[in-house]
Amino acid sequence: MTPAVARHLLRGSPGWPDRLEHLDRPPAELWVMGRLPPPGRPCVAVVGSRRAAPGALLTARDLGAELAAAGVTVVSGMARGVDAAAHHGALLGGGGTVAVLGCGIDVCYPPEHVSLRDRIVETGCVLSEDGGAEQPLAWRFPRRNRLIAALAEAVVVVEATARSGALSTARWAADLGRDVLAVPGSIRSPSSVGTNLLIRDGVRPFLGITDLFEAAPALRRAMSAPMAAHASAHAGNVTLPPGDSLLARVLAAVAADPVHPDDLAAALGLETPALSAALTTLQLGGFITEVCGGRVTRTF
């Protein structure tokens, strides 16, 4: 595969990400491989430890897949561990993802992520505020983290030690008024000290994708507006947008009598992340509602 050619984007030029203007000192320029998310596209950052435990990797991958299936762009740093798992999940979910580098745009760091980088560029983008072959020096990563936080409506920290760089992203996000969530972990695990401290200090625990949508009104509005408009336009004769075959299948399987998602997954032969994302999208659009015991039912 021929490597993608990076384009140079100056601040204020067409296509410049508006969310970066929320920073006190936005970058003066970016180098971008691939396509930036369109204006208004909901974005969530998923970050965490480079030396993540297997459970954290699964959580990051599943979250990335659920977000992508729901039409949300996943933003992360293409590092080993949680970042890579989140990107892989987004690709698995059929969505775009944004990788923000802590090095020059021509450098793939870590080097074993060349294939991942190329896959990201196919449907999303890789970006850096450094051109050429600038090396991944330590001071570049906190600077990189501010871009990750600024590009997203919310940040989910999946796993972090007490000194993890992911906490830098969380601090930037909080300063920018973004919603921050953290996955709780065992108090015996050093790899969960950072996330547990975030929760102790008032960050909302992340136990599932519903927590994210409840915590982030901006994200919920961005996702629900198109669905709500469509539902209103088809009141009394609800249909789904053309091409949404997964949503149509799930909606068709939800009857007036409440049904549990596990039963839906078995009946439809769907993996849990894809079904959860579809149910969340349908719920945000007003097509279904959740009732007792986690069951769902139609609203019409």
- Does residue 288 register a pLDDT over 80? yes
Answer yes or no: is pLDDT of 235 > 70: no
Distance CA 217, CA 153 (A): 9
Q: To the nearest whole number, what is the mean pLDDT of the chain?
A: 88
Q: Are 297 and 256 in contact (CB under 8 A)?
A: yes
pLDDT tops 80 at residue 291: no
Q: Answer yes or no: same fold for 7-215 and 224-298.
A: no
Indicate the angle between helix axes 193-200 and 166-175, nearest 10 degrees.
20
| Percent of the chain clearing pLDDT 90 (strictly above) | 64
**Torsion over CA: 188, 207, 249, 92 (sign):** negative
Please give the single-letter amino acid code of residue 253.
A
Could you state, in order of their start, the residue ranges of all structural domains in the chain? 7-215, 224-298
Say yes or no: domain 224-298 is CATH 1.10.10.10: yes
Q: For the segment 33-70, what is each residue's pLDDT rounded down to a tens digit?
A: 999 999 989 999 999 999 999 999 999 999 999 899 88
Label residue 14 by pLDDT band (50, 70, 90): very high
CATH topology of domain 7-215: Rossmann fold (3.40.50)
Percent helix / strand / coil, the chain, rounded to 5: 45, 15, 40
- pLDDT 10s digits, 158-207: 999 999 999 999 999 999 999 999 999 999 999 999 999 999 999 999 99
In terms of Cβ atoms closer than 10 Å to its own Cβ (0-12, 13-18, 19+), residue 79 is buried
Give the residue, 94 or 217, on which the prediction is more confident.
94
